[in-house]
A and B are shown apart, each in its own frame.
Chain A
Amino acid sequence: MTTSRPRPLSPHLQIYRFTITMAMSIVHRGTGMALYLGTLLLVIWLGAAALGDGPLDIVNLVFGSWFGQIVLFLATWALFHHMLGGVRHFIWDSIHGLEPGQREALAWANLIGSIVLTLVVWAVFVWFRG
């Protein structure tokens, strides 16, 4: 619902000193917006498979190209980062991990965990697939 009176604004990025929790909060929102568009990758893939051999071959060619692989790699990371960020929110919802130090540890775990998960999935299922 929009109101006739302008909604209150809060200070934005330039006001704050850089912290890891702030960075991971921004990245959570960023990955969310990227994944929003990323759903198109799944729709295009399923749609091409439904349409026929020709369209599916084209999609496989694009997704399999170096550019497609970079996009899919980043999408994998965005998915894992956003998922772990969500888990972090569940931890906070249960009133845990909010103390100084714990917050930062969770933020680092979010970043490192997402990178590790992405590398493990790509190493196991793509790079060193037997």
Chain B
Amino acid sequence: MVDESRIAEPHIHYGNPKGSTRHFIIQRLTGALNILFLIFFVWLVVRLAGSGRTEMVGVVGNPIIAIIIALLIANVATHMRIGMREVIEDYVQDPRLHSLCLSLNTFFALAVTVLAWIALAKIVFWG
């Protein structure tokens, strides 16, 4: 039997309308940019797969390439954070677990970005 309390009621507002619209737009913007980044990324991996440090530092140490990788990471992290948020909203019902998952999601996206940026800075400035 259908649980009446779980049927949407038009006069009740679910979620955050402004945030959701922003996510909708940012998800498409970052997604479109990711198509360009993917082409660059395939080139980068093909160029450097299996390479030693000298080779890696030679390519990634180039400031322009390092900046592109840094932007790629930030763009991907933004995109994947919104995507995972959507999954959490769909499947994690318990309110406390829900907010815990959202926090962990933000933490993971930030951690990936910051760690990659630190690694890039190390390679660019100190070889």
Query: Measuring CB to CB, which residues of chain A are less than 8 angstroms from any residue of chain B?
Result: 1-3, 5-9, 29, 32-33, 35-36, 39-40, 42-43, 46-47, 49-50, 52-53, 56-57, 60, 63-64, 79, 83, 86-87, 89-90, 93, 121, 125-126
Contact = CB atoms under 8 A, between A and B. Distances in A.
A63 B50 CA distance: 8
A90 B119 contact: no
Interface residues of B, number: 47
B52 A39 contact: no
20 contacts: A1-B15, A2-B95, A2-B98, A3-B14, A7-B15, A33-B87, A36-B84, A36-B108, A43-B112, A43-B116, A47-B115, A49-B60, A49-B119, A49-B123, A56-B56, A60-B52, A83-B34, A93-B28, A125-B42, A126-B49
Nearest to B96: A2
Contacts, number: 101
B8 A8 contact: yes
Contacts of B99: 2
A31 to B, nearest CB: 10
Given A32-B87, A36-B84, 5 more contacts: A42-B116, A49-B57, A60-B51, A63-B49, A121-B46
A2 B96 CA distance: 9
Nearest to B86: A29
Contacts of A50: 118-120, 122-123
A53 B57 CA distance: 11
Contacts of A83: 34-35, 38
Contact of A49 (B12, B53, B83): B53
Given A53-B53, A86-B34, A8 B42 contact: no
Nearest to A84: B35
B67 interface: no
Interface in B72-106: 73, 76-77, 80, 83-84, 87, 89, 93, 95, 98-99
Contacts of A5: 5, 12
Contacts of B46: 121, 125
Most buried by B among A7, A50, A57, A126: A50
Contacts of A64: 50
A46 to B, nearest CB: 4
Contacts of A39: 73, 76-77, 80, 112
Contacts of B56: 49, 56
